Amino acid sequence: MRATSPHSGEALLFLTDEQLRQGIEAMFFAYRGFTADPDRILQDMSYGRAHHRAVHFINGAPGTTVNNLLDILGVTKQSLNRVLRTLIEDGLVESRVGTTDKRERNLYLTDEGKALERQLSDAQRARMRAAYRSAGPEAVAGFKTVLEAMMDADMRRHYRKLREGR
């Protein structure tokens, strides 16, 4: 019989409801911290998290289509159009007619949009870097595994596709 430490994989299979509740609460508070810095930046511009997500994913895949962005974000077309309209009007995103399909719109960040994305990402990277450094490489690998395991199958496919594209 193999001994297990409280942190071994085997011991984690027997989490109590209370331990799971604490994990859920930790996730809520971590997300709040993770979004706090960008939220402050966006508040001054009268933007919200939907704007942040759009800018983030357009930056990661310049020329992405509106339909692809709809799939990634999982929002309604009406909601995304409202967000894109403000980003385009404010000069942060450029919408171009598709080269292969004229009905498609390809999205690109302008120089101003890239600067905003960099500002938002720098704040989150600093927080993630500090947390990763504090936790150590094994915890980071485990954290990534847990996050990926929590994703729905469709989201996991999108996530892996995005990672492969970089």
Tally of CB atoms within 10 A around 43:
10
- Check if the beta carbon of residue 63 is closer than 8 Å to that of residue 101: no
**Mean pLDDT, residues 25-51:** 95
The reported pLDDT for the residue numbered 144 is 93
Q: Is the pLDDT of residue 7 over 80?
A: no
Instruction: Place 45 in a pLDDT band, splitting at 50, 70 and 90.
Output: very high
Q: What is the residue type of 75? A: V
Q: Are 54 and 86 in contact (CB under 8 A)?
A: no
On the question of pLDDT at 10 being above 80, the answer is no
The mean pLDDT value for 115-144 works out to 96
Tens digits of residue pLDDT in 103-112: 889 999 999 9
φ, ψ for residue 112, nearest 5 deg: -65, -40
Q: What pLDDT does 98 receive? A: 80
pTM, 2 dp: 0.83
**Is residue 149 very low, low, confident or very high in pLDDT (cuts 50, 70, 90)?**
very high
Closest Cα to residue 117, out of 65, 44, 164, 51?
51
Per-residue pLDDT, 4? 46
pLDDT digits (tens, 9 = 90+) for 58-104: 999 999 999 999 999 989 999 999 999 999 999 999 999 888 888 88
Name the residue type at position 47: Y
